Structure 1
């Protein structure tokens, strides 16, 4: 059976590592972890994830920008894991956030 593939978009290395360990322990395949908008877009194109977990603020660009660009090529379910709830709610009131 094919494992569910998850792309992590997170600029904090410790959070990215912890998410990767948690998801892999739960049986998911973390297909990539990226810290920039451009890196995330390239990884999504390369790996075709089943789910994206994205932070709002990145080293370069934003998680929101990455999701917008990724969605132009392929609709992928996504969850924002961020403390910047207001910024996401302002442009995406129906966004799923944790």
Structure 2
């Protein structure tokens, strides 16, 4: 992990949430590797940019959810993932 200028990949299918998160993180000095809306986009972007960290929404568009996307990324790349969700139900915990 690059501790002096860490890069973060944001994975969220809600454009406004991803955009606000990106702005907040950039203000704090983090480099944004990119934003993705689906598992396929996240995997492609992670392979291309090799971020230091991935912020992954649990519920994203597409065939795979955020947890499945993270598992797929972890099989190929050793990148830590922090999960986030707007839902507070038993399914997301």
Give the TM-score taking structure 1 as reference length: 0.83
> C-alpha separation between the residues in 1 aligned to 2:43 and 2:6?
19
Deviation, 1:83, is 3.0
| 1:67 counterpart residue number | 70
**8 A Cα contact 1:56 1:84, kept in partner:** no
Runs of 4+ in 1 over 2 A off after TM superposition: 83-89
Unaligned runs of 5+ in 1: 90-98
Deviation, 1:88, is 4.4
- State which of 21, 24, 38 in structure 2 corresponds to 1:22: 24
Unaligned runs of 5+ in 2: none
| 1:87 counterpart residue number | 91
| 2:58 counterpart residue number | 56
**8 A Cα contact 1:64 1:88, kept in partner:** no
How many residue pairs get matched?
89
> C-alpha separation between the residues in 2 aligned to 1:59 and 1:39?
10
Deviation, 1:21, is 0.1
Deviations 1:42-95 (A, max 9, x none): 100001010110101111121111100100012211111103453343xxxxxx
> C-alpha separation between the residues in 1 aligned to 2:58 and 2:39?
10
